Amino acid sequence: MAAPPTLADLTMAELMSGRPAVVPVLLRHGLACPGCAMAPFMTVREAAEAYGLELDVFLGDLAAADGRTGHSIETVSTESR
């Protein structure tokens, strides 16, 4: 059985949808995802790799900005939408 999807598996567009608190985190890390044409296609994991970010640190910052802990989609969920 496959592992459940995590925050890292969301596309950047999915991440930002309903989670405005993550946008400043993206900008602080040097990502231009808000308004980027690749946001619907690039996952959080791929963006971290493309920008040379340490994935666990990046995920932690995103989760903290959204008032959550952990990296699962269930933990960082649609509750804020």
What pLDDT, on a 0 to 100 scale, did the predictor assign at position 62? 94
- Phi, psi dihedrals of residue 77, rounded to the nearest 5°: -110, -165
Residue spans of the chain under pLDDT 70 = 68-81
Domain interval for residue 76: 7-80
Number of domains, the chain: 1
Tokens of 51: 């920008």
Cα end-to-end span (Å), the chain: 29
- Name residue 43's beta-bridge partners: 11
pLDDT at 72: 55
CATH number of the domain residue 37 falls in: 1.10.3910.10
Q: Is 30 inside a domain boundary?
A: yes
- Residue 1 forms part of a structural domain: no
Residue 61 burial (10 A CB sphere; 0-12, 13-18, 19+):
middle
Q: Evaluate whether residue 73 is within a structural domain.
A: yes
